[in-house]
Amino acid sequence: MKSIAVFCGSSFGTEPIFRETAYNLGALLSQKGFSLVYGGSATGLMGVLADGVLENQGEVIGVLPRFLQKKEVAHTRLTQLILVDDMHQRKAKMNELADGFIVLPGGLGTFEELFEMLTWSQLGLHQKQIVLLNIGGYYDPLLSLLQNLEHFGFLKSGNQSAFLVCDSVLACLNVFEK
Ligand code: AMP
C-alpha cells in the first residue's frame, strides 16, 4: 500500500472549502487505496483530514512529538500513533513512511514542513513528489514568490520538477496513481 504524507493547518482557516477539501482528500485517499501519514492531531484541517480517511475505512498513521500531545490533542481513533521526541524526528519519520507529499492550506507549521521537504528534495535527500493543493487560490502569493526567487536567480527551474501544483483533490491523487 502506498502512503501519502499530508501537511495542513492545525486550524480550519476562514473558508468552508478548506475543510471540505481536507475531508474529501482523506476520503479519496482511502477509496483509492492510499494510507495517510500526518501529524497526528485532531484539530483543524488535520483532524478533518484524518476523519475523512477513517470514516472511509482507511488507514491513518499519526506522527506526534510528545510535547505536543496535549497542546494539539492527539486524534484518538488512528490506526497507529507514533510518538517521537521532537519536531525534527517527526519530519524525518513522516519522510521515512511516505511515498509522496500533499500540502493543503495551513499556517507557519505547514509552510515549514513544505519548505523542509522542498529543501530535502533540492539536496537529493529524497526523490518524492510534492504536490501543492492550491484551494481557492490560497497559495497564489507563494507561487508568485517562488517565481520571484527564480527570476532573481536564487532558484533553478529544474530543481522544481518534484514540485507540482493542483487545484483539485482528484488531479492531486492522479499524480500518485501513475
Ligand atoms: P499550522 O500550519 O501552523 O497550523 O501547523 C500545522 C502543523 O505544523 C502542526 O502539526 C504543527 O505541529 C506543525 N508546526 C507548527 N508550528 C511549527 C513549527 N514552528 N515548526 C515546525 N512545525 C510546526
Higher pLDDT, 178 or 34: 34
Say if strands 129-133 and 35-38 run parallel, antiparallel, or are unpaired: unpaired
* Centroid of ligand 1 to alpha carbon of 12 (angstroms): 13
Which residue range forms the structural domain that includes residue 168?
3-177
What is the per-residue pLDDT across 21-76, written as a single tens digit (0 to 9) for each?
Answer: 999 999 999 999 999 999 999 999 999 999 999 999 999 999 999 998 877 789 99
Which pLDDT belongs to residue 57? 97
* Centroid of ligand 1 to alpha carbon of 178 (angstroms): 30
Share of the chain above pLDDT 70, in %: 98
CA triple 55-42-163, angle to 5 deg:
85
User: Per-residue confidence at 178, pLDDT binned at 50, 70, 90?
Assistant: confident
Residues belonging to the chain: 178
Query: Which residue has a Cα nearest atom 21 of ligand 1?
Result: 109
What is the per-residue pLDDT across 126-148, written as a single tens digit (0 to 9) for each?
Answer: 999 999 999 999 999 999 999 99
CB-based pocket (< 6 A), ligand 1: 9-11, 39, 41, 68, 72, 87, 106-110, 112-113
Does residue 49 contact residue 58 with C-beta atoms inside 8 Å? Answer: no
Mean pLDDT over 152-178 rounds to 88
* Centroid of ligand 1 to alpha carbon of 41 (angstroms): 11
Q: What is the pTM of this model?
A: 0.95
What one-character DSSP code corresponds to residue 107? -
Neighbours of 118 (CB within 10 A): 20
Scanning the structure block, which residue is given the C-alpha cell 507514533?
Answer: 82
Contacts of 16 (CB under 8 A, 6+ apart): none
Query: Which residue has a Cα nearest atom 16 of ligand 1?
Result: 109
User: CA–CA distance from 34 to each of 93, 101, 149, 178 (Å)?
Assistant: 18, 12, 34, 13
Share of the chain above pLDDT 90, in %: 90
How much is the mean pLDDT over the chain? Answer: 95
Number of domains composing the chain: 1
Q: What is the CATH number of the domain that holds 31?
A: 3.40.50.450
Which pLDDT belongs to residue 108? 98
